[in-house]
Structure formats: structure tokens, C-alpha cells
Amino acid sequence: MPAMDATDRKILTLIQENAAQPVAEIARKVGLSVTPCWRRIQRLEETGIIRKRVALLDPQKIGVGMSVFVSVRTDQHNAEWLQNFATMISAMPEVVEFYRMSGEVDYLLRVVVADMAAYDTFYRTLIDKVQLTDVSSSFAMEEIKFTTALPVVADTPSQ
């Protein structure tokens, strides 16, 4: 992966704030002309540093305002089970984040649904489709901080 300089980091910060802003605006803010700025953005995309550009939606306004953190434990720890579980979870649109964990919990899901009834439907589907040892749900009462922006630090480790 090519090294990033301060200008690359500024570009990344600006794109995370608003990926729809014109390249000319980004170029002006980082002190470049449009073509060199565009080339840097293309390089950041080609190297996979910028994975994709998306629109962030307001969950309340589209009817999925309840966030549930679901802790899953299983006694199945083989590749076939994990592949089946990952395939099933990936097909469930309510699951917006899915992690394999260390410690007491094997997997952690963030699920977004309209209400408790919708979560109950999700839960019943989850436990019906795969063998689990324990499922524990925690309901977010208030969102205090939410961001998709990653910190863009000067000493980014090389890979």
C-alpha cells in the first residue's frame, strides 16, 4: 500500500464528512488543483483505502429506529457451521453489523428494526435457522454518538 501524506489524510477526512462534494471543492480545501486531487482520490479507491461511497439514512425517518445489540454464543466452532451462520446472517437485512468476538460472547450483531414486534420476528427467525447456545439482546435506549468516520491519523501503519 502506498504511503499517505497529510494531503491524502485531509482528502479522506473531507470525503468521510461528505462523499458527494465535488472534487473541485475538495481540491480547494486541500490546496490542490482538480486533476491532482482527482488522481489522489482514484489512487485511494484503487488501493482499497476508500472502500465505497454511500449515503447515510436517518433510521427514525425510514422506520427502523430501534437498535438492538445481540450477543450470540454457540458450542459450534467449526468452519462449516461458521460459513452457514455467516451466510444466514448476511442475508438478514436487519443485521447492519456482524462481528466474531473474543471472550465470553462468540458473535455480536447490531440489528435495526421498527419496534419490539419486528425484533421478535427477527429473533424467532434467528433461533429457528441455526443452532445457538445462548442469545442475549440489549436494546439501545439513546444514541449518544454515532459516526461512520474513522480517525485519519498521521502514523497510519503500513500493510
Q: What secondary structure, in 3-state letters, does 28-46 show?
A: HHHCCCHHHHHHHHHHHHH
pTM above threshold 0.75:
yes
Sorting pLDDT into bands at 50, 70 and 90, what band is 1? low
Helices (H), the chain: 6-17, 23-30, 34-46, 79-90, 116-129
| pLDDT computed for residue 153 by the predictor | 87
State the CATH architecture for 6-46: Orthogonal Bundle (1.10)
The answer to whether 68 and 137 are in contact (CB under 8 A) is yes
The mean pLDDT of 92-115, rounded to a whole number, is 98
138: pLDDT strictly greater than 50: yes
Residue 85: closest CA among 62, 60, 107: 107
The 10s digit of each residue's pLDDT in 31-52 is 999 999 999 999 999 999 999 9
Sorting pLDDT into bands at 50, 70 and 90, what band is 136? very high
Q: How far apart are CA 97 and CA 109, in angstroms?
A: 6
Sorting pLDDT into bands at 50, 70 and 90, what band is 159? very low
66-139 maps to CATH 3.30.465.10: no
56: pLDDT strictly greater than 70: yes
Sequence spans of domains, the chain: 6-46, 66-139
| pLDDT computed for residue 3 by the predictor | 86
